[in-house]
Structure 1
Amino acid sequence: MTIARTASTFAPPVMEARRWLKGVSFAPERPLLNVSQAAPVDPPPEPLRCAMAEIVMQDASAHLYGPVLGLPELREEIARQWSRDYRGEVTPEHVAITSGCNQAYCAAIAALCGEGSEVILPSPWYFNHRMWNDMTGVRTVALETGPTLLPDPERAAELITPATRAIVLVSPNNPGGVEYPAALLAAFRDLCRSRGLALILDETYRDFDSREGPAHDLFSDPDWAEVLVQLYSFSKAFRLTGHRIGAVTASVERLAQIERFLDTVTICPTSLGQKAALWGMQNLGSWLAGERAEIIARRRSMEENFATLADKGWRLMGCGAYFGWIEHPFAEASDVLAQRLVRDAGVLLLPGTMFTAPGSEAGRRQLRIAFANVDAAGLSELAARLGALPD
C-alpha cells in the first residue's frame, strides 16, 4: 500500500504542544509561561505598520502578482546589504524572495535533490527541515553534535555517500542557540566544495547574533556561489511573521531551478509583505539594533538564571538568538516531562524528542526554550518554576 507523502513524517511540533494545553487551567497569579515558539507575538513596529497602511491604500501594485523571484527593488536591497555586511560581492541576480524562510528551504531542496537523495542535518535539527526531507523522499542523515552542539566537519565527511547532495547548517542555531564560529563554517564550505555538495546555511536569526562584524566570510570567497545557498527570514527582523517573506541567496543557475518550484507553489511572494520588508531594510536599522540588544540581554538573563539551577541538575548547553537548549535532571523522557511541565509548572516548551531521531538519548535528556517573547522577569520566573519542580 502506498503511503501518502504527508504521512511519511511527524505532526507539526508546535501545534502538537499546543494540544497539551487542552483541559489545563492556570491560576491568575501563575499564568502560563509559553516558551514553545520562536516567533514574535508583537506586531511590526508602528512606523512600519503606518507605511504598510499607506502602501495598501496608495500602491495598486501591492495587490497584484509580482515576479516569481521577487520584487527587483527588494532583491537589489538585499544584495546591497549582504555585500556590505559580509564584505563580499552579491548581485540582485543571486537573490530570490520566498514566502517565508521555510519555503526558501523547500525550494533549495527541490533544486538540489531527487528521489533517494541524502542531506546531512546536524542533530538536534530544526524540525521543519526534517519534515520537508521526509515528505520529498530525501533521506536525512543525522550528524550528532554532542555536548558542544557544534557539528564536526570531519565527522560529516564520514557520512557523505554518493547520494549526498547537501549539508545543512543553521547559525545562530535553532534549536541549540549556539553561534557557529566563522572558521567552522569555512571548514564546512571547504568540505562541500571538495565533495561537490551544496552548503545550505540558514541564517534566519542573523540579526540577533551577539558578535560584532561579519559572522563569517563565506561571501567574500569570489566563488561562493559554487557552494553556498543562504536562507533568510524577515519574520524575526521586522515581526512580519504573518506576511511570510524570506529569501534565498545562491548561484544564478540554482535560482533558475528554484524559480520553477516557486512558480508552481505560490507563483510569487505577497507583494505587500515584500514592500514592507524593503521599507524595513531601508528605515528600521536603528530599531532593529535595539531589538538585537534586547535579545542579547535576554540571553545573559538565561545564562544567569540557569547558573542558579546547576545544583539541581539543570544544564544550559547552548544559548543565543531566541533559544536556550537545556539538559534536564529527571529520569523521564523529555516528551513526558514537557507535558508534566504544563500541568505542574505552568510552562509550555518543546522536548528534545521533537528535534532528534526516534530513540535518540540526547532527545530524551534535552529541551528547548524559546525566549523571544519572555523578558528578564519572565525568565527569572521560569527558572524558579523549573527549580521547584518535584521529581
Structure 2
Amino acid sequence: MPTFNPLVARLSPPPVPSVAAWARDYDGGHGPLIDLSQAVPGYPPQADMLTWLGEAASSREAAGYGPIEGEASLRAAYATHVAELYGAPLAARHVQITAGCNQAFAAAVIALVQAGDTVLMTNPYFFNHETTLSMLGINVDLVPCDAADRFVPDIETIEASLHPRVRALALVSPNNPTGAVYPADRLADIYDLCRRKGIWLILDETYRDFLDDTTKPPHAIFSREGWQSHFVSLYSFSKSYCIPGHRIGAITGGVQMIQQIAKVMDNLQICAPRVGQMALVKAIPSLAAWRDENRREIGRRRAAMQAVMAGLQGWKLESIGAYFAYVRHPYPDISAEFVAAKLAALAGVVCLPGDYFGEIQEGFLRFAFANADVETIGLLRRRLEDFKLPGI
C-alpha cells in the first residue's frame, strides 16, 4: 500500500482551522464571539483598491501567464517604495514577487539551504516557518528568547547556537507571535554576526508597516556593503493593503539571489497571481495616506489591548507590537492548548496557544488584536476576568 511522505505526515494539521473549531462549542452567553486567532486586517480594502482589482480581473492580460519574477511594473514600484523607506539604492532587479510571504519564505529557503542542513529560528517561532523547513528535510535549531527581554533575541545566544551545519538564521520583526520589534542596532549586530560566520540572514518583515516610529527605517542593512551575499528580506502585501486572499508577497535580495529564486518559482507557481500585482502597481504610490491611517488605527487597537491587560489579575502582557499581544495565562501547570480551547468554548474568545509556537511556550497565548476594533477589544477584559477553568 502506498504511503505518504513522512516529513509531511508527521506534521500537525493547520492550526488556525483547528482553533476555529473550538468556538463551535461556545453558546453565546457572554456576547458575540471575539476572534483574535488569525492575523487578518479587521477592516476592508480601500474602495479604489477594489476597483483596481476588478479592472485587473476583467482584463485579458491577467488571464495569461506573467513573468516568473513578477510584473515588471510592480517590481519597479515596490523597489522604489523600499528604496525610499530604507534610504538605499534598490531597483526592480532586486525584487521577486511571490504568492504571499509563506511562499516567499519557502522559495528563499529552497534557494539557500539543502536538506540535512540547519536553519536557526527563535523560540517562540512562526509555526509556518518551522513546518516548511521540516517538510523540506531541513533541520531546525532554536535560539531561546526571554520574556524579560521582550523576546528580542540576544546576540551572544545566537552566536552560541551556531555550528557548522547552520546555513541561515530566520527572524521575524515585528515578530509573530510576540509582537516584539527588534531594534535596528540589534539587527545590525545580528547581520554582522551572520556575515562573519558566512550564513544568511532571512528577515520576514511582513508587519513593518505597523511600526510606531516611521521617522527611521526599521534597519540599515540594505546600506551595508555586500549585503546581497548575506541578507534576504521578505514582505507581504496582505496586511497593509487588506488583500490576503489575493496572495501577493515579495522577496528583496541580491541579483544573483533573485536569479536562483526564479528557478524555484518556475516550479512552484510559474508566476504569482496577476490580478493583485496589477492593482498594487497603482496602490503603492496612491494609498500611502490610507496605509498610514491604518497604522494609526492598529496603534489604537494596541493601546486598547494594553488597557485591557493592565492590572488584570492572573494575566500578564509579556510583549505587544504590530498585530500581536503575547500573554501569560493564569494556569502555569496546564498547557496553553487546553486553556485556549476552554477560553473559546466557555468565554467566546478565540486565540492561539503558545504551544503552537515552540517548546516551553505552554504558559502563553497569542492574541491577534488587529483583527478586532477598539470596542470589541474592550469587551475582552470582562471575559478574561470571569474566565475560570472547570474544577480548578
Q: Tell me which interval the TM-score lies in, with the shorter structure as reference length.
A: over 0.9
Tell me the distance in 2 between the aligned counterparts of 1:2 and 1:329.
40
CA offsets per residue over residues 80-137 of structure 1, 9 Å max, x none? Answer: 1111110111121110000000000000110111111101111111110001011000
Letter in 1 for 2:386: A
Letter in 2 for 1:316: L
Distance (whole Å) between structure 1 residues aligned to residue 4 and residue 237 of structure 2: 38
Aligned to 2:164: 162
Is 1:377 matched up with 2:370? no
Q: Give the Cα–Cα distance (whole angstroms) in 2 for the partners of residues 278 and 62 of structure 1.
A: 14
- Partners in 2 of 1:23 and 1:281 — Cα distance? 42
Q: How does 1:180-329 map to 2 (within 5 A)?
A: 180-212=182-214, 213-309=216-312, 312-329=313-330
Query: Aligned-pair distance for 1:332?
Result: 1.7
Whole-Å Cα distance in 2 between the matches of residues 24 and 376 of structure 1?
22
SS of aligned partner of 1:319: strand
Give the alignment's TM-score, normalised by structure 1: 0.95
Aligned residue for 2:362, secondary structure, equals helix
Structure 1 residues 41-50 or 285-294, which shifts more? 41-50
Preserved CA contact (<8 Å) 2:26 2:348? no
Secondary structure at the counterpart of residue 320 of structure 2: strand
- The aligned residue for residue 144 of structure 1 is 144
Measured in 2, the distance between the counterparts of 1:294 and 1:153 equals 33
SS of the equivalent of 2:366 reads strand
Contact residue 26 and residue 347 of structure 2 kept, 8 A: no
**2:97 corresponds to which letter in structure 1?**
I
Structure 2 residue matching 1:111: 3-state secondary structure: helix
Matching residue of 1:365: 363
Contact 2:42 2:373 in 1 (8 A): no
The normalised TM-score by structure 2 is 0.95
CA–CA separation in structure 1 for the residues paired with 2:61 and 2:305: 44
Could you tell me how far apart the structure 2 residues matched to 1:216 and 1:2 are? 43
- Matches of 1:133 and 1:56, distance apart in 2: 34
> Where in structure 1 do 4 or more consecutive aligned residues deviate above 4 Å?
none
Q: Distance in 2 between matches of 1:3 and 1:171?
A: 32
Q: How far off its partner does 1:23 sit?
A: 4.1
Instruction: Give 3-state SS (helix, strand or coil) of 2:370's partner.
Output: coil
- Tell me if structure 2 keeps the 8 A contact 1:8–1:135: no
1:343–1:22 CA distance, 2 compared to 1 (3 A): closer
What's the counterpart of residue 85 of structure 1? 85
Q: Which residue type is aligned with residue 104 of structure 2?
A: A
**Counterparts of 2:52 and 2:97, CA distance in 1:** 20
Check the 8 A contact 2:119/2:169 in 1, yes or no.
yes
How many Å apart are 1:42 and its aligned residue? 4.2
Cα distance in structure 1, aligned partners of 2:300 and 2:71: 35
Letter in 1 for 2:280: A
Q: 1:34-53 maps to which residues of 2 (within 5 A)?
A: 34-40=35-41, 42-53=43-54
Q: Distance in 2 between matches of 1:115 and 1:142?
A: 17
Counterpart residue type for residue 158 of structure 1: A
Cα distance between partner residues in 2 of 1:282 and 1:19: 40
- Residues 295 and 2 (structure 1), Cα distance of their counterparts in 2 relative to 1, 3 Å cut: closer
| CA positional deviation for 1:41 | 5.3
Q: Is the 8 A contact 2:351 2:367 kept in 1?
A: yes
CA distance in 1, matches of 2:42, 2:97: 23
Runs of at least 5 residues in structure 1 that lack an aligned partner in the other structure: none
The answer to whether 1:100 aligns with 2:100 is yes
**Matched position secondary structure for 1:274:** helix
Q: How many residues align?
A: 383
Counterpart position of 1:350: 352
Tell me the amino acid that sits aligned with residue 38 of structure 1: A
Q: Give the counterpart of 1:386 among 365, 384, 387.
A: 384
TM-superposed CA distance for 1:268, in Å, is 0.3
Distance in 2, Cα, partners of 1:2 & 1:37: 29
Q: Does 1:112 align with 2:115?
A: no
- In structure 1, give the amino acid aligned to 2:383: R
2: CA distance between counterparts of 1:2 and 1:301? 46
Is this contact kept in 1: 2:23–2:348, CA < 8 A?
no
RMSD of aligned residue pairs (Cα, Å)? 1.4
SS in 2 for 1:222: coil
Amino acid at match of 2:336: S
In 2, the alpha carbon distance for the partners of 1:215 and 1:142 equals 24
